[in-house]
Amino acid sequence: MHGFVLGFDVGTSGVRALAVDARGQILGAGSAKLPPTLVTGTRREQHPDDWWYGLQAACRALGKQVDLSQARAVALDATSGTILPVDESSNPLAAGRMYDDADTGDLAGRIAQLAPQESAAHGATSPAARALGWLDLPNLHCILHQADWLNRKLGSDEFIADENNALKTGYDPVARAWPAWLESLGLPYLRLPKVVPVGTPIGKIDAIAASFLGIPAGITLAAGTTDGCASFLASGASRVGEGASALGSTIVLKLLSDRPIFAPQYGIYSHRLGDQWLAGGASNCGGKTLAALFSEAELAALSATLDITQPTGLDYYPLATMGERFPIADAQLAPRLTPRPADDATFLQAILEGFSAVEQLGYARLAELGGPKLVSVRHAGGGSRNPAWMKLRAQKLGVPLAAAWSDEAAAGTARLAWRALGHELKLS
């Protein structure tokens, strides 16, 4: 199959653009920085035009590496829970309020009284709570997610959201509908976008957008996803029971399931990927703990000396600070890093053993909550470059491990662009 698709990842601080061909080969990448988020107390805002300019700049940078005239489809991911109000012509009526904006007063309490426990709309940063503050704006037509607005700029036919970006605003992925409790909250359906499955064709790139990006007009525009779901898709996992571990400053686990898993007490919600479900959680253990105890040079030197065939026998729970959310939900859980052996190499090995045990417990927790049996795990992040940690993980998990297809969220979004063209990338 000739040509390639474009995947865009719109993050908090920048935009990434990738060209991916039908075999899954990444042909080129471009990036652009975004201005810093405006912070006022607990409010977090960005100007929507900056997202659009960032998308253009990243695409132009990509165009220096590949012939953009060969692009066949486009999809993008963006930060989950970032929203903005627009008029009938999609013009922003206020700055975009970011996913971590907690300036919602007592509205989270109102949502707690109305929304079912398993809804992802709970909490102080709820997009549904932020949206209520805009309902009296003159000329308000719709409240869009960051990805929705960018898709309108690109040429989507309607005011459309994908099922993943809509989740935290209260969308019910099981019923595949906006729920009645949102109306009771005072957020009418007519102010919310239509919702479609990820990878659905939602329009064609219009001529004006094409000229700004340097891509062909009329190519397919696909519904994308959130940044977190895109990162999972970038792992290459596609079968029920496959997991993906992001071993970064924290340890984030995601598992592809044939049924939804909802456990808000662990921060677990299920995103819908067609007829499959993506469930997971994030531990506070990870690279933050190592960074507080060792320099990069010390880590490299000590890791090279470890003999993992000889377990330390130390039962660490290596948090960086107090509090854990998954696989143990305990805001008062203290780091367990004692007794500390005199030998730094043994200390490091015990910490890595602890990380591996936390990962194992995380996948066990997902199974306990109704998830499928774990069959394999793909990994990405800085921790995956530590051979000792990888060997300890293999011992604990007891399933095949493999590096992720890509650690770029934009690569996962490109999979959805290919899906909109009727082609599933074969990455295993």
Q: How far out from the chain centre does Cα 422 lie? A: 24
Burial 188-205 (b: 16+ CB within 10 A, else e): eeebbbbbbbbbbbbbbb
**Which domains are delineated in the chain?**
4-229+410-420 (3.30.420.40), 237-404 (3.30.420.40)
Q: How confident is the model at residue 166 (pLDDT cuts 50, 70, 90)?
A: very high
pLDDT of residue 58: 98
Which tens digit of pLDDT belongs to each residue from 230-278?
999 999 999 999 999 999 999 999 999 999 999 988 889 899 999 999 9
Q: Which of 80, 12, 384 is nearest to 235 (CA)?
A: 384
The Cα-based distances of 65 to 61, 83, 369 in angstroms read 8, 32, 46
Which tens digit of pLDDT belongs to each residue from 316-354?
999 999 999 999 999 899 999 999 999 999 999 999 999
Q: How far apart are CA 216 and CA 210, in angstroms?
A: 6
Which tens digit of pLDDT belongs to each residue from 139-154?
999 999 999 999 999 9
Residue 33 pLDDT exceeds 90 = yes
pLDDT of residue 428: 63
The sign of the CA dihedral 62, 65, 68, 70 is negative
Determine the average pLDDT of the residues in 38-62: 97
DSSP β-bridge partners for residue 271: 278
pLDDT of residue 37: 96
Q: How far apart are CA 373 and CA 399, in angstroms?
A: 10
Which tens digit of pLDDT belongs to each residue from 66-79?
999 999 999 999 99
